[in-house]
Amino acid sequence: MDNSTAGFVAKGLISNETFAYLMVLFRLVLNPAVGILGLCANVINVVVFYKMGLTDGVTQNFFILSISDGCLASATIIASVSYILYTQVYVGVGGPEYTAQVVYCASILIGAFPHSVSMATTVVIAVIRCLCVAIPLHVKFLMTARRQLAVILAFSSCSAGLLIYAFSPSRAVLVNNPLTNTPFILIVDLKWFEYTVYSNATSYIGFIIVIICVIVLTVSLNRSSSFRGKSASRVSTSVSTGEQTKDGRKEARVIKTVVFVSIVFIVCYLPAMTVTMIGTLVKEFSTVGIYRNANLLNLMIMDLFTAINASVNIFIYYFFNTRFRTTFNTVFGKLPK
């Protein structure tokens, strides 16, 4: 190995200078902006879905998803503000700097709960709609809105219990960074292995389930569109046929909403899946390995995409859910064209 190659490997894929600029971009600009957008969007979502009524499972589940996404966006904002405070405002001050570091770490840990609730709710929404396509006559009676709520609450309770078990023993200690000779806060005594196993397992299972549901729903949507096209070519004055067409269009809009929400979920969680897979295959791709800067960059991208996933659903609801759009326009007025 020549000297240039050795130097490249020692530095990793991203230099410290480049990484410093990227960190400023993500932590000080992109994450706060997306977090504020997500909080505002989900407050609107919660108001609109509440006005729509929570009697049916679809509206109820989107309402829950909006609450958890709003909490996740709030955690993103808190993390961004605390990061700005201890890196830009309270540098070298001592007490306030350490307090901001603790708040930053706590917001990341606490944000794991709404993150898991959002994932569970998205999976339930996708699976229920899939079952409605496969066995429509049974799902309405078997998976009522209350039973769907029970599934989400059961998973959320398990997640809360695991997070309390993994994070409650943690404590913040002040240590010295040997590279910069500056003190910083380190969170220790976390049951990180248990949390990582649980988080990775549920994330991969949920990710795969949503992908399967998107495929099934997309095929069903294409078939129904083809069927409606053939039906429209036939002249009929039957009232029942008109009602069936109306119901079919309503179901198609619901499926489109679920499909697009699920696609956004899949795209936004790809970085998380990628980081986990690369970390498993490449030992040096870690926070302390040769490729630590690349790893940390991927973690920042993962955080950003998670925040994006919690922020953009309002646009899907508005353009593909007629009831949401009507209620939104009634409460807030029509959007300017």
Question: Tokens 């988080």 belong to which residue?
Answer: 199
Rounded to 5°, the CA angle 238-243-249 comes to: 130
Quick one: tokens of 64?
A: 């829950």
- Give the count of beta carbons closer than 10 Å to the beta carbon of residue 122: 28
Question: Tokens 């966006």 belong to which residue?
Answer: 73
H/E stretch holding 196 reads: helix 192-232
CA torsion through residues 143, 146, 147, 152, sign:
positive
Q: What SS3 state is found at 133?
A: helix
Q: What is the pLDDT along the chain (337 residues), one digit of tens a residue?
A: 444 333 333 455 777 788 888 888 888 889 999 999 999 999 999 999 999 988 888 899 999 999 999 999 999 999 988 888 888 887 777 778 888 888 888 898 888 899 999 999 999 999 998 888 877 777 777 888 889 999 999 999 999 999 999 888 888 888 877 766 777 777 888 888 888 888 888 888 999 999 999 998 888 877 765 545 554 445 444 444 444 455 567 777 888 888 999 999 999 988 888 877 777 777 766 666 677 777 788 888 888 998 999 999 999 999 988 889 999 999 887 655 5
Report which of 290, 260, 308, 313 is spatially closest to residue 73, judged by C-alpha positions: 308
Does pTM top 0.75 for this prediction?
yes
Report which of 206, 200, 52, 203 is spatially closest to residue 124, judged by C-alpha positions: 206
Separation between Cα atoms, residue 266 and residue 207, nearest integer Å? 7
Q: What is the dihedral of CA 8, 14, 18, 23, to 10 degrees?
A: -160
Q: Is 105 exposed, middle or buried (0-12, 13-18, 19+ CB in 10 A)?
A: middle
